[in-house]
């Protein structure tokens, strides 16, 4: 009798253990990839995403964030997103342009005249929908947008006017619009992955690059480039893209959890962004970087004629171009 009772308890414990480990095993691993370091606003946004999903459906999903390009450069990870191996990724629109031409829109130089207009524009749910119009074919869709501030030139020699760009080699993000833009500025475009820029600068393969201030500090480009020019040529968001394969496998309730998580991530990222930029600027000054203010209209006027040409070459952008221009006018 006594023996039977012990055996019964042991069996019950074993069964409970098997059940709980089955439950643990049954959790779906959700992988998020990005290229930034762990103090970057994109990472902070994804921590909010993870916390939200796990607070709503932590029994089902185990959200894992892979920063620092540990899963690979964005261009490669996008393939994994399509296959459903990686479920979410933050990726610059410039990197998606070669998959779907509509994303070229944010590479059009001087599309917005203020970050206020740009941030307001990308925060509209209808913009996410319009960008995701080909989601089924693309294999991914946009659930949110992180701001990545304003892109500016930085270099080993000071850029004070358009003439200073002439004949220089500048790294740009991949995408035909970026190449066209650099040509219009009179410089040579060298497209390459984000992670390769530091050594290319160091080895003299390129003279400079273009990005927001965090590239100077987080990616250490400020160790090599001591001049950062506020020409403000682009405002290009990092989209929170979700794998279509993954999203279409979800129940409507679970899908809503991930959609809401992306909105929470966006809010957290926006809040972190402005604070972090101010800090990075101070940090870069300590690294010896000089910030140069220029007459931005000289830079703008140089590339404005390109708009018409870009729209002709890439009509997929036209509707969103008109919408963004109207929004910009109304929210200057």
Q: List residues near ligand GCU by CB under 6 A.
A: 35, 74, 92, 148, 173, 194, 211, 215, 238
Give one DSSP letter per residue of 181-213, joined into a string.
Answer: HHHHHTSEEEE--GGGHHHHHHTTS-SEEEE-T
Q: Which is nearer to ligand GCU, 257 or 284 (CB)?
A: 284
Q: Which is nearer to ligand GCU, 95 or 243 (CB)?
A: 95
Q: How far is the CB of 16 from ligand GCU (least distance, A)?
A: 46
Q: Which is nearer to ligand GCU, 54 or 75 (CB)?
A: 75
Q: How far is the CB of 210 from ligand GCU (least distance, A)?
A: 8
Q: Which is nearer to ligand GCU, 235 or 257 (CB)?
A: 235
Query: Using CA atoms, how far apart are residues 210 and 215, in angstroms rounded to an integer?
Result: 9
Which residue has its beta carbon closest to ligand GCU?
194
- Is 191:174 a contact under the CB 8 Å cutoff? yes
Dihedral angle over CA of 310, 315, 319, 324, nearest 10: -20
Give one DSSP letter per residue of 31-81, joined into a string.
Answer: EEE-SS-TTSHHHHHHHHHHHHHHHHHTTTEEEEEE-TTTT--HHHHHHHH
Q: Which is nearer to ligand GCU, 239 or 257 (CB)?
A: 239
Q: How far is the CB of 149 from ligand GCU (least distance, A)?
A: 8
Q: How far is the CB of 205 from ligand GCU (least distance, A)?
A: 16
- Is 193:206 a contact under the CB 8 Å cutoff? no
- Is 307:325 a contact under the CB 8 Å cutoff? no
Q: How far is the CB of 42 from ligand GCU (least distance, A)?
A: 6
């Amino acid at each position: 009798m006594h023996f039977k009772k012990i055996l019964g308890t042991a069996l019950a414990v074993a069964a409970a253990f098997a059940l709980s480990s089955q439950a643990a095993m049954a959790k779906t691993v959700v992988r998020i990839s990005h290229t930034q370091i762990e103090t970057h606003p994109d990472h902070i946004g994804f921590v909010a995403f993870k916390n939200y999903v796990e607070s709503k459906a932590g029994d089902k999903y185990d959200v894992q964030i892979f920063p620092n390009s540990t899963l690979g450069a964005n261009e490669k990870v996008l393939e994994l997103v399509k296959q459903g191996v990686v479920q979410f990724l933050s990726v610059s629109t410039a990197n998606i342009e070669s998959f779907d031409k509509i994303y070229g829109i944010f590479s059009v130089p001087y599309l917005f005249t203020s970050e206020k207009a740009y941030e307001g524009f990308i925060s509209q749910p209808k913009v996410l929908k319009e960008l995701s119009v080909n989601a089924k074919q693309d294999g991914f869709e946009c659930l949110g947008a992180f701001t990545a501030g304003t892109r500016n030139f930085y270099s080993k020699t000071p850029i004070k006017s358009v003439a200073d760009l002439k004949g220089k080699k500048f790294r740009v993000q991949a995408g035909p619009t970026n190449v066209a833009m650099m040509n219009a500025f009179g410089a040579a475009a060298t497209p390459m992955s984000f992670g390769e820029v530091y050594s290319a600068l160091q080895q003299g393969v390129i003279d400079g690059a273009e990005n927001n201030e965090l590239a100077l500090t987080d990616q250490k480009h400020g160790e090599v480039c001591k001049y950062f020019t506020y020409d403000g040529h682009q405002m290009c968001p990092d989209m929170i893209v979700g794998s279509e394969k993954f999203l279409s496998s979800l129940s409507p309730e679970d899908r809503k959890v991930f959609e809401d998580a992306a909105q929470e991530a966006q809010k957290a990222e926006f809040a972190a962004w402005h604070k972090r930029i101010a800090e990075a600027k101070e940090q870069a000054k300590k690294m010896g970087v000089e910030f140069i203010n220029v007459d931005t209209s000289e830079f703008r006027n140089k590339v404005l004629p390109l708009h018409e040409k870009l729209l002709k070459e890439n009509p997929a952008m036209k509707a969103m171009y008109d919408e963004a221009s109207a929004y910009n006018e109304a929210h200057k």
